[in-house]
Amino acid sequence: MAGGKNAVSFRICFYGWPSGGKRPQVPSQQEHLAHVMSLLHFRCKERRRTQRVSLTVPLGLHGHNEDGEKFCIHVKSNAVSQHGVQLETEHPLVVGQVLIIVNESSARKVEARVASIQRKRDGKTYVGLEFLSTEINFWSMTFRFPERNRFAEPFPK
Protein backbone atom coordinates (compact mmCIF):
# COMPACT_ATOMS: atom_id res chain seq x y z
CA MET A 1 0.00 0.00 0.00
CA ALA A 2 2.58 2.52 -1.23
CA GLY A 3 0.39 5.60 -1.45
CA GLY A 4 -2.38 4.64 0.96
CA LYS A 5 -3.55 5.93 4.32
CA ASN A 6 -0.75 4.16 6.23
CA ALA A 7 1.95 5.79 4.10
CA VAL A 8 0.42 9.25 4.70
CA SER A 9 0.16 8.59 8.44
CA PHE A 10 3.77 7.45 8.50
CA ARG A 11 4.91 10.58 6.69
CA ILE A 12 2.96 12.83 9.08
CA CYS A 13 4.41 10.96 12.04
CA PHE A 14 7.91 10.94 10.55
CA TYR A 15 8.06 14.62 9.62
CA GLY A 16 5.97 15.86 12.58
CA TRP A 17 3.23 18.49 12.85
CA PRO A 18 4.15 22.11 12.27
CA SER A 19 3.42 24.60 15.01
CA GLY A 20 0.13 26.46 14.70
CA GLY A 21 -2.08 23.36 14.50
CA LYS A 22 -2.49 23.51 10.71
CA ARG A 23 -2.55 20.27 8.80
CA PRO A 24 0.98 19.75 7.44
CA GLN A 25 1.92 19.55 3.81
CA VAL A 26 2.58 15.86 3.32
CA PRO A 27 5.61 15.24 1.12
CA SER A 28 5.09 13.24 -2.02
CA GLN A 29 6.15 9.62 -2.15
CA GLN A 30 9.17 10.67 -4.24
CA GLU A 31 10.23 13.38 -1.75
CA HIS A 32 9.85 10.94 1.13
CA LEU A 33 11.94 8.30 -0.65
CA ALA A 34 14.66 10.86 -1.45
CA HIS A 35 14.77 11.89 2.23
CA VAL A 36 15.00 8.30 3.46
CA MET A 37 17.65 7.40 0.88
CA SER A 38 19.76 10.40 1.90
CA LEU A 39 19.67 9.17 5.50
CA LEU A 40 20.61 5.67 4.41
CA HIS A 41 23.47 7.01 2.30
CA PHE A 42 24.77 8.99 5.29
CA ARG A 43 24.72 5.91 7.46
CA CYS A 44 26.51 3.63 5.01
CA LYS A 45 29.85 2.26 6.10
CA GLU A 46 32.71 4.00 4.30
CA ARG A 47 34.28 1.54 1.87
CA ARG A 48 37.12 3.68 0.55
CA ARG A 49 40.62 2.67 1.49
CA THR A 50 41.90 6.24 1.04
CA GLN A 51 40.42 9.67 0.63
CA ARG A 52 39.08 10.71 -2.78
CA VAL A 53 40.29 14.12 -4.02
CA SER A 54 38.73 16.24 -6.76
CA LEU A 55 41.45 16.61 -9.36
CA THR A 56 41.33 17.13 -13.12
CA VAL A 57 44.11 15.30 -14.94
CA PRO A 58 44.22 14.57 -18.69
CA LEU A 59 44.29 10.81 -19.22
CA GLY A 60 44.51 8.39 -22.10
CA LEU A 61 42.57 5.11 -21.78
CA HIS A 62 43.86 2.24 -23.90
CA GLY A 63 42.02 -1.04 -24.25
CA HIS A 64 40.17 -3.46 -26.51
CA ASN A 65 36.47 -3.30 -27.32
CA GLU A 66 34.16 -6.35 -27.51
CA ASP A 67 35.28 -7.06 -31.10
CA GLY A 68 38.92 -7.16 -30.03
CA GLU A 69 39.74 -3.86 -31.73
CA LYS A 70 42.14 -1.52 -29.92
CA PHE A 71 40.91 1.89 -28.81
CA CYS A 72 42.43 4.97 -27.22
CA ILE A 73 40.21 7.65 -25.75
CA HIS A 74 41.19 10.93 -24.11
CA VAL A 75 39.35 11.86 -20.92
CA LYS A 76 39.86 13.92 -17.77
CA SER A 77 39.64 12.65 -14.22
CA ASN A 78 36.91 13.96 -11.92
CA ALA A 79 38.35 12.55 -8.71
CA VAL A 80 41.41 10.50 -7.81
CA SER A 81 42.48 8.29 -4.91
CA GLN A 82 45.56 6.26 -4.15
CA HIS A 83 43.83 3.19 -5.59
CA GLY A 84 42.03 4.56 -8.64
CA VAL A 85 40.17 7.27 -10.49
CA GLN A 86 36.66 8.39 -11.33
CA LEU A 87 36.07 9.87 -14.77
CA GLU A 88 33.29 10.74 -17.16
CA THR A 89 33.10 9.08 -20.58
CA GLU A 90 30.58 8.16 -23.22
CA HIS A 91 32.78 5.36 -24.57
CA PRO A 92 31.18 1.96 -23.88
CA LEU A 93 33.07 0.15 -21.13
CA VAL A 94 32.21 -3.00 -19.17
CA VAL A 95 32.67 -3.72 -15.46
CA GLY A 96 35.74 -5.95 -15.10
CA GLN A 97 37.34 -4.70 -18.32
CA VAL A 98 41.11 -4.11 -18.00
CA LEU A 99 42.55 -0.87 -19.38
CA ILE A 100 45.89 0.93 -19.47
CA ILE A 101 45.67 4.46 -18.05
CA VAL A 102 48.26 6.97 -19.25
CA ASN A 103 48.69 10.18 -17.29
CA GLU A 104 49.19 12.63 -20.17
CA SER A 105 50.88 15.16 -17.83
CA SER A 106 53.54 12.81 -16.46
CA ALA A 107 53.51 9.99 -19.08
CA ARG A 108 53.09 7.42 -16.25
CA LYS A 109 51.15 4.26 -17.07
CA VAL A 110 49.16 1.87 -14.91
CA GLU A 111 46.86 -1.10 -15.46
CA ALA A 112 43.34 -0.72 -14.07
CA ARG A 113 40.01 -2.49 -14.19
CA VAL A 114 36.57 -0.97 -14.52
CA ALA A 115 35.10 -1.26 -11.01
CA SER A 116 31.84 0.65 -11.46
CA ILE A 117 29.71 2.39 -14.05
CA GLN A 118 27.07 4.93 -12.97
CA ARG A 119 24.66 6.40 -15.47
CA LYS A 120 23.11 9.56 -14.04
CA ARG A 121 19.73 11.05 -14.92
CA ASP A 122 21.40 13.97 -16.70
CA GLY A 123 22.78 11.49 -19.25
CA LYS A 124 26.36 11.54 -18.00
CA THR A 125 28.20 8.28 -17.35
CA TYR A 126 30.78 8.10 -14.55
CA VAL A 127 33.27 5.24 -14.50
CA GLY A 128 35.30 4.12 -11.51
CA LEU A 129 38.65 2.51 -12.32
CA GLU A 130 40.69 0.58 -9.77
CA PHE A 131 44.44 0.15 -10.16
CA LEU A 132 45.55 -3.48 -10.37
CA SER A 133 48.81 -2.72 -8.56
CA THR A 134 48.57 -1.38 -5.02
CA GLU A 135 52.30 -0.64 -4.87
CA ILE A 136 52.20 2.36 -7.18
CA ASN A 137 51.90 6.08 -6.45
CA PHE A 138 50.41 6.95 -9.84
CA TRP A 139 49.36 10.48 -8.87
CA SER A 140 52.58 11.37 -6.98
CA MET A 141 50.43 12.39 -4.00
CA THR A 142 49.95 11.31 -0.42
CA PHE A 143 46.41 10.28 0.52
CA ARG A 144 44.98 9.88 3.99
CA PHE A 145 42.49 7.32 5.18
CA PRO A 146 38.87 8.53 5.14
CA GLU A 147 37.36 9.62 8.43
CA ARG A 148 34.98 7.06 9.82
CA ASN A 149 31.54 8.22 10.88
CA ARG A 150 29.86 7.13 14.07
CA PHE A 151 27.86 4.47 12.23
CA ALA A 152 30.93 2.71 10.86
CA GLU A 153 32.56 -0.27 12.47
CA PRO A 154 35.24 0.60 15.04
CA PHE A 155 38.92 0.36 14.17
CA PRO A 156 40.33 -3.11 14.86
CA LYS A 157 42.36 -3.44 18.07
Q: Convert the pLDDT of each residue in 46-87 to its tens digit.
A: 466 677 789 999 999 999 988 889 999 999 999 998 899 999
pLDDT at 44: 45
- CA 102 – CA 25 distance, rounded (Å): 53
3-class DSSP assignment, residue 112: strand
Give, to the nearest 10 degrees, the angle between helix 29-43 and helix 5-15: 50
pLDDT at 48: 62
Q: How many residues does the chain have?
A: 157
Comparison of pLDDT for 45 and 94, the residue scoring more: 94
Our CA dihedral for 23, 25, 28, 34, rounded to 10 degrees, sits at -120
State residue 141's pLDDT score.
84
- Give tens-digit pLDDT for 108-121: 999 999 999 999 88
Q: What percent of the chain has pLDDT over 90?
A: 43
